[in-house]
Each structure stands twice: as C-alpha cells, then as structure tokens.
Amino acid sequence: MADACGAADLQHLVGQPASVLETMKFSQPVRILRPGMAVTMDYRPDRLNIEIDAQEVIARVHCV
C-alpha cells in the first residue's frame, strides 16, 4: 500500500499556487503543511500531506 492516500495522482499540483487547493475536494484526510507549522508525527498512510513553501507554492505532495 505504497500510495494509500492517492498522492501519485496529485503530483501535478507541485509547483502550483496554494490557492488552487481552495476549490478542491478530497475523499481522504488531508493535512496542509506550511513552513514552521507544528505537526503531529502519527503514522497515517491514508492521509494526504500537501507541503506549501514560503512563497505559497505547493512544494510536495505525499502520504503519511
């Protein structure tokens, strides 16, 4: 279950402005991460993580 959260299908978001996420709906749990943000380290293979950089651009999309 290497891609339980569907991150592989959303790699096209990398490089896009974070604002594109405002109109998107996700069927899985989603966590949007920004620089300096405190996050839990719990293991959730079904959770989609979307990392936003300091310029408000999507830098990474991954599971767990």
Q: Are 42 and 49 in contact (CB under 8 A)?
A: no
Question: How would residue 62 be classed by pLDDT, with cut points 50, 70 and 90?
Answer: very high
Mean pLDDT of 42-47: 92
Q: Are 47 and 28 in contact (CB under 8 A)?
A: yes
Using CA atoms, how far apart are residues 55 and 64, in angstroms rounded to an integer? 24
Q: Pinpoint the alpha helices (H) of the chain.
A: none
| Closest CA relative to residue 54, chosen from 35, 31, 33 | 35
Mean pLDDT of 5-14: 96
Q: What is the pLDDT of residue 2?
A: 65
- CATH match for 7-63 among 3.30.10.10, 3.30.1330.10, 3.40.50.2300, 3.40.50.1000: 3.30.10.10
Q: Is the pTM above the cut of 0.95? A: no
Tell me what percent of the residues of the chain surpass a pLDDT of 70: 97
